[in-house]
């Protein structure tokens, strides 16, 4: 009747009319002076007025009944009703004093039922003090555990229902939410079966708040509506206001801020009419926070004043008005900064191609085996094929029923318990029924639960699979190529070995024939030159075959570099003179020694000097130089030829390489010499390199381990 617009049906009007008639009947039976005769009339009338929130009238009727001339029964009931009135109007110290006096009276009388009722009152004070201040819920639960079996044994069903309700309140405050639901449901059953319909709103409201606080919002909403209907039926303004206040919190949490504001504003007249300052304090605080959230600073200021006024009435110390204004202003500034930062963060999260889920912790839930979805971005909702509004604030198991869900839920529990993040990549999941894809998931603990960052990597994994397959195919092809190259080298080696003998004979015969005929001598020289070049090629081929077959035999020992260089320069001096190329040998005073195989070292220097002669034009010079460089001995062969391009330098030491430069006097080149040089140098733990610029000549260098 006080809160629910449009609820004035015939049944409600009939109840109101019956209440008014009973009130008149009791008032007419009331004597002018309190006496034992009309004591019970006063008690019944006070109980009715107390239920309707008439605080002052209730106390006025009851105070005379606590005098000693009245029976212990009357005194007990009067004190109990006085304590209940104080309790309903947040005067917990006064209520507690009355309950303790009644407890002493009940114990003195030896009345087990009175004792239980007085203890219940003390338990309810503990519940409210725990709710409003600092944690007396466990003690309250012990009180109701003591009184419940008393009521059950004595057959006091309404007392049993209230004790069960008290156990529910205490369990909820202590965090045992499953027991809170179970005991509240038991209270509903007792009230419904034994004429306690006017008390049903109490456990219904308790169940609603438990479900609201722990994520089952649809169930909570239904329970709140049932509690409000029951409170209307019982015409209990205290419970009506409590239910409306808590229901508004649910509405605001579900983004129905306007509906919450209207509901809270509608209960303030009832709060003031029936003097419920604590409920007014809480309601005004909620209205202030809601006004700040929508940046209605004027309304926030007015509600803040109301918070201060109600706080003063219930003994909550509030700052002076100036401090209140400063607090509100600072809070507004912080809120604005946070909103700006949250806006930027939200924009980034919403724009992310990754699905982002934020889930509440499973601890403390009615169903401890599940999470509650607190946030999803657009990509996450798209993954699940749902609207974000269909997912938010719902148990994960209700919106994601895939048998593969445990692959994420189980690791999420471990992350929540340990605080250590984890990454699952890749993992097969089915966010949409019948659609299985591969994802990379990062799970991290948040302040209130866990967060998932989910990336669809199906295409990536498919590409990686193709890359692996392609790599395997390339490896197989490379293996075949290596085998073919080895076969080719072996065949060339066999051919070179078989051809070398006949070609050697041709060379020897062409050089041994003596003739005075110029034409014959010219052709003999051509034959000798061609066979000599062919012998060099065959020798190179055989060297390559030996190296690649691992049959190269090296006898590394100290070699005098200076003497060997003198011999090679002398060997090629005649050829240099034919091309009018000056050969210069630059040796240090102290002989240079290196650790090398003498034959291989000689072959290396011959190759490099021969190359320098081939590519050097007439009128230039070639310098052969030796020096010691710490633990290495260095040999350099520098020419003044055309130089080598950067592109040619990159492939200089490969097999069968033909460079863009050509020999200057028509000499042949096999393309194997530098490849053999590199392999021989490296086989002796040395290094070989080239420094060149086009038009500036070329310097080849070798470094081998020195002897000292």
The burial of 242, by beta-carbon neighbours within 10 Å (0-12 exposed, 13-18 middle, 19 or more buried), is given as buried
pLDDT for 83 beyond 70: yes
Which region among 108-117, 440-449, 491-500 has the lowest average model confidence (pLDDT)?
491-500
CA distance 591 to 389: 89
Contact present, 245 and 210 (Cβ < 8 Å) = no
pLDDT of residue 44: 77
Comparing CA positions, the residue from 490, 496, 491, 508 lying closest to residue 537 is 496
State residue 689's pLDDT score. 92
Contact 694, 562 (CB under 8 A): no
Closest listed residue to residue 596, CA positions, set 690, 687, 675, 699: 687
Residue 637's pLDDT band (cuts 50, 70, 90): very high
For residue 316, which phi and psi values (nearest 5 degrees)? -90, 115
User: Given pLDDT bands bounded at 50, 70 and 90, which one contains residue 537?
Assistant: low
Q: Are 231 and 194 in contact (CB under 8 A)?
A: no
Grouping H, G, I as helix, E, B as strand and the rest as coil, residue 423 is strand
Compute the Cα dihedral for 531, 536, 542, 545 and give only its sign. negative
The HSE-up count of residue 93 (CA atoms within 13 Å, CB side) is 2
DSSP element (H, E) containing 561 = helix 561-578
Per-residue confidence band for 2, with pLDDT thresholds at 50, 70 and 90 = very low
Give the pLDDT confidence score for residue 691 in this predicted structure: 92
Q: What architecture (CATH level 2) is domain 556-705?
A: 2-Layer Sandwich (3.30)
- Check residue 491 and give its pLDDT: 64
Judge contact between 627 and 588, C-beta under 8 A.
Answer: yes
List pLDDT tens digits, range 274-329. 777 777 778 888 888 888 777 787 788 787 788 777 777 666 554 444 455 555 55
CB-based contacts of 366, cutoff 8 Å, min separation 6: 177, 178, 181, 210, 211, 214, 216
* Residue 246 CA to its chain's centroid (Å): 33
Q: What is the end-to-end Cα distance of the chain in Å, rounded? A: 111
547: confidence class by pLDDT, cuts 50, 70, 90: low
30-57 pLDDT, tens digit each: 655 566 667 777 777 777 777 666 777 7
CB 339 within 8 Å of CB 292: no
Q: What is the mean pLDDT of residues 144-155?
A: 84
Positive or negative, the CA dihedral 616, 618, 620, 626 is positive
In CATH, what is the architecture of 352-456? 2-Layer Sandwich (3.30)
Dihedral over alpha carbons 384, 385, 389, 394 (to 10 degrees): -40
Closest by alpha carbon to 181, among 449, 361, 189, 363? 189
**pLDDT exceeds cutoff 70 at 531:** no
Structure confidence at residue 584 as a pLDDT band (50, 70, 90): very high
Which tens digits make up the pLDDT trace of 409-432?
Answer: 888 888 888 889 999 888 888 888
What sign does the CA torsion over 321, 323, 326, 330 have? negative
* pLDDT tens digits, 241-268: 877 877 887 787 777 888 888 888 888 8
Q: What are phi and psi of 643, to 5 degrees?
A: 85, 175
667-701 pLDDT, tens per residue?
A: 556 667 788 888 888 888 999 999 988 888 999 99
pLDDT of amino acid 621: 93
pTM for this predicted structure: 0.42
Residues belonging to the chain: 708
Run of H or E including 327: helix 321-351
Mean pLDDT of 473-491: 76
Interval 593-631: pLDDT, tens: 999 888 888 888 988 998 898 888 999 999 999 998 888
Domain boundary assignment for the chain = 276-350, 352-456, 467-548, 556-705
DSSP string, 128-191: HHIIIII--HHHHHHHHHHHHHHHHHHT-HHHHHHHHHHHHHHHHHHT-HHHHHHHHHHHHHHH
């Amino acid at each position: 009747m006080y809160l629910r617009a449009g609820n004035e049906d015939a049944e409600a009007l009939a109840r109101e009319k019956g209440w008014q008639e009973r009130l008149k009947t009791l008032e007419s039976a009331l004597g002018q002076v309190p006496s034992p005769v009309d004591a019970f009339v006063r008690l019944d009338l006070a109980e009715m007025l107390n239920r309707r929130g008439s605080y002052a009238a209730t106390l006025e009727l009851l105070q005379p009944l606590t005098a000693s001339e009245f029976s212990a029964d009357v005194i007990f009931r009067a004190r109990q009703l006085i304590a209940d009135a104080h309790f309903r109007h947040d005067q917990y110290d006064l209520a507690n004093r009355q309950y303790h006096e009644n407890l002493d009276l009940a114990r003195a009388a030896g009345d087990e039922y009175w004792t239980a009722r007085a203890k219940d009152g003390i338990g309810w004070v503990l519940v409210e003090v725990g709710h409003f201040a600092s944690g007396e819920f466990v003690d309250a639960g012990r009180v109701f555990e003591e009184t419940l079996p008393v009521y059950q044994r004595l057959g006091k069903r309404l007392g049993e229902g209230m004790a069960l309700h008290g156990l529910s309140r205490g369990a909820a405050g202590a965090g045992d939410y499953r027991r809170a639901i179970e005991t509240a449901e038991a209270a509903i059953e007792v009230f419904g079966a034994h004429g306690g319909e006017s008390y049903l709103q109490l456990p219904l409201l308790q169940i609603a708040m438990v479900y609201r606080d722990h994520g089952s919002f649809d169930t909570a909403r239904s329970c709140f509506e049932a509690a409000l209907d029951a409170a209307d039926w019982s015409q209990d303004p205290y419970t009506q206001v409590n239910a409306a206040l808590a229901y508004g919190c649910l509405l605001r949490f579900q983004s129905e801020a306007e509906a919450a504001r209207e509901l809270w504003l509608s209960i303030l007249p009832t709060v003031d009419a029936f003097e419920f300052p604590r409920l007014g304090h809480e309601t005004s605080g909620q209205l202030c926070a809601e006004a700040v959230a929508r940046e209605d600073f004027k309304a926030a200021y007015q509600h803040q004043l109301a918070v201060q006024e109600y706080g003063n009435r219930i003994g909550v110390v509030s700052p002076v008005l100036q401090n209140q204004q400063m607090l509100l202003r600072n809070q507004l500034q912080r809120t604005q900064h946070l909103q700006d930062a949250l806006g930027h963060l939200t924009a980034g999260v919403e724009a992310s191609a990754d699905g982002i889920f934020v889930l509440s912790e499973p601890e403390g839930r009615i169903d401890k085996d599940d999470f509650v979805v607190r946030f999803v971005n657009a990509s996450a909702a798209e993954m699940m094929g749902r609207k974000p509004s269909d997912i938010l604030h719902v148990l994960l198991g209700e919106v994601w029923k895939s048998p593969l869900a445990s692959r994420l839920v189980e690791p999420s529990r471990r992350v929540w318990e340990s605080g250590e993040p984890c990454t699952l990549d890749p993992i097969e999941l089915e966010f949409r029924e019948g659609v299985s894809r591969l994802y990379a998931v990062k799970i991290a603990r948040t302040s209130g639960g866990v967060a998932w960052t989910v990336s669809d990597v199906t295409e990536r994994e498919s590409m990686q699979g193709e890359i692996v397959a392609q790599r395997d195919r390339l490896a197989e092809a490379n293996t075949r190529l290596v085998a073919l190259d080895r076969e080719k080298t072996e065949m060339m080696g066999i051919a070179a070995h078989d051809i070398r003998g006949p070609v050697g004979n041709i060379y020897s015969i062409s050089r041994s024939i003596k003739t005075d005929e110029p034409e014959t001598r010219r052709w003999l020289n051509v034959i000798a030159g061609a066979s000599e070049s062919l012998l060099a090629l065959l020798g190179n081929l055989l060297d390559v075959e030996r190296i690649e077959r691992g049959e190269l035999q090296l006898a590394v020992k100290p070699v005098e570099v200076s003497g060997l260089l003198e011999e090679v320069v002398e060997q090629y001096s005649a050829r240099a003179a034919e091309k009018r190329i000056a050969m210069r040998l630059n040796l240090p005073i102290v002989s240079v020694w290196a650790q090398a195989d003498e034959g291989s070292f000689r072959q290396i220097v011959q190759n490099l000097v021969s190359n320098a002669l081939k590519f050097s034009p007439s009128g230039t010079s070639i310098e052969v130089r030796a020096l010691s460089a710490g633990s290495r001995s260095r040999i350099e062969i520098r020419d003044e030829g055309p130089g080598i391009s950067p592109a040619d330098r990159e492939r200089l030491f490969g097999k069968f390489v033909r460079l863009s430069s050509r020999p200057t006097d028509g000499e042949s080149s096999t393309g194997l010499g530098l490849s053999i040089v590199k392999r021989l140098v490296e086989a002796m733990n040395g290094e070989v390199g080239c420094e060149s610029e086009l038009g500036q000549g070329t310097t080849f260098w070798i470094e081998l381990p020195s002897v000292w």
